[in-house]
Amino acid sequence: MKKKVLKLIFSGVIMASSSTIAQETIENFLKNQPIIDMHFHITKGYGDNEKYQHLNTDIDKAKLDWVMEDYKKNNVVLVLGGGTLKYAKMYAQADSLFWAGLIFPCSKTVEQDQPCEKEFYTESELGELYKMGNFKSLGESMFNYYGIPPTDRRLEPYWKIAEEFNIPIGIHADSGPPAARVNKEENPNYNPTYANPELLKPILEKYPNLRIYLMHYGGEYSEQSLKLMKAYPQIYCEISAVSMFMPKEVWEPNVKKLYSEGLGDRLMFASDYFDTVRKNIEIIYNLDWLSQKQKRDIFYNNAARFLELSASEIKEHRKKVD
Ligand SMILES: [Zn+2]
């Protein structure tokens, strides 16, 4: 274990120092740079949150206002966000900034999921929700927290509807967080191994065109993620949380591998945690072995391709940051 970590640190240092690219300042770089955030959690507002509690007497609205302002400040022009029905609807209707959808499944015992109207929806219920066109994404997947594998039959309707409506799906594909850090009362059956992306294989065999993106690439399941991405050209990834919480020596070599394996054009920007947009922008910006073009691709172009944005949508986004 120790040896492996040392080796990782060593190779990370060598690779980083051998190919540093000259960089302009982050402020200059970000000027007119549209950004797509592929990972946001739509939740209720929290009355004790000091960032937004003063903005509106309706605390849900206060959170929405703060989030929209923060995204605007950071040139974010599109956000994929998942939540439970009530709040996913609220965000979907609030502004075209959000491509909202359902987390799956939600859990009645999880505070952040309140209100979890229904833990599992049927195929016809999902069909109704997605047919209306308000919902444009699915995820984050929560089945590892809930304690079931992706092949659980209660999840079948989600895969089916996602394929039918060509919906992008965010899959939690890292073994983190460690069991000790997960609230046992909220998630009594939490099983981190159910996030192993290898377990998606039978689902992809049945629905080979699913537009999946693997959340939290760069950690323990990096090899499995690479394999899946090689087998399915439409599968993309992002490195949120892993790149913010784990040592760079652990995840950076895995990001380099993504490029050396020819998959760098499938990496997208994501923040995941509330109030970390700027921090996550800096994490990508500080990867000084990437060219400016590669960084711009991560911030916008790769996601635009993955999401199949139209030329007019792209034009609209660029105009927003002009
Ligand atoms: Zn998340």
State the distance from the centre of ligand 1 to the C-alpha of 273, rounded, in angstroms: 7
Give the pLDDT of residue 21: 66
State the distance from the centre of ligand 1 to the C-alpha of 140, rounded, in angstroms: 6
First vs last C-alpha separation in the chain: 49
State the distance from the centre of ligand 1 to the C-alpha of 215, rounded, in angstroms: 8
Query: What is the rounded distance in angstroms from the CA atom of residue 13 to the CA atom of residue 1?
Result: 19
Contacts of residue 41, Cβ cutoff 8 Å, sequence gap at least 6: 81, 82, 83, 103, 112, 140, 272, 274
pTM of the model: 0.92
Give the pLDDT of residue 178: 87
236 φ/ψ angles, rounded to the nearest 5 degrees = -115, 180
Q: Which CATH number fits domain 31-320: 3.40.50.300, 3.40.710.10, 3.10.25.10, 3.20.20.140?
A: 3.20.20.140
State the distance from the centre of ligand 1 to the C-alpha of 10, rounded, in angstroms: 30
State the distance from the centre of ligand 1 to the C-alpha of 22, rounded, in angstroms: 33
State the distance from the centre of ligand 1 to the C-alpha of 274, rounded, in angstroms: 10
Query: What is the rounded distance in angstroms from the CA atom of residue 304 to the CA atom of residue 308?
Result: 6
CA-based radius of gyration for the chain: 19
Instruction: Decide: 82 and 158 in contact? Cβ < 8 Å.
Output: no
User: Order of strands across the sheet with 98-104?
Assistant: 35-41, 76-83, 98-104, 137-141, 169-172, 212-215, 236-238, 267-268
Tens of pLDDT along the chain (322 residues) come to 444 443 444 444 444 444 566 667 899 999 999 999 999 999 999 999 999 999 999 999 999 999 999 999 999 999 999 999 999 999 999 999 999 999 999 999 999 999 999 999 999 999 999 999 899 999 999 999 999 999 999 999 999 999 999 999 999 999 998 888 899 999 999 999 999 999 999 999 999 999 999 999 999 999 999 999 999 999 999 999 999 999 999 999 999 999 999 999 999 999 999 999 999 999 999 999 999 999 999 999 999 999 999 999 999 999 999 9
Contacts of residue 92, Cβ cutoff 8 Å, sequence gap at least 6: 98, 100, 134, 135, 136
State the distance from the centre of ligand 1 to the C-alpha of 171, rounded, in angstroms: 9
Triad 104, 170, 73: Cα angle to 5°: 110
Give the pLDDT of residue 52: 98
Give the pLDDT of residue 11: 40
State the distance from the centre of ligand 1 to the C-alpha of 88, rounded, in angstroms: 15
Half-sphere exposure (Cβ direction) of 225: Cα atoms closer than 13 Å? 29
State the distance from the centre of ligand 1 to the C-alpha of 292, rounded, in angstroms: 27
State the distance from the centre of ligand 1 to the C-alpha of 218, rounded, in angstroms: 15
State the distance from the centre of ligand 1 to the C-alpha of 238, rounded, in angstroms: 11
State the distance from the centre of ligand 1 to the C-alpha of 153, rounded, in angstroms: 23
Beta bridge partners of 100: 81
State the distance from the centre of ligand 1 to the C-alpha of 142, rounded, in angstroms: 9
Contacts of residue 287, Cβ cutoff 8 Å, sequence gap at least 6: 252, 255, 295
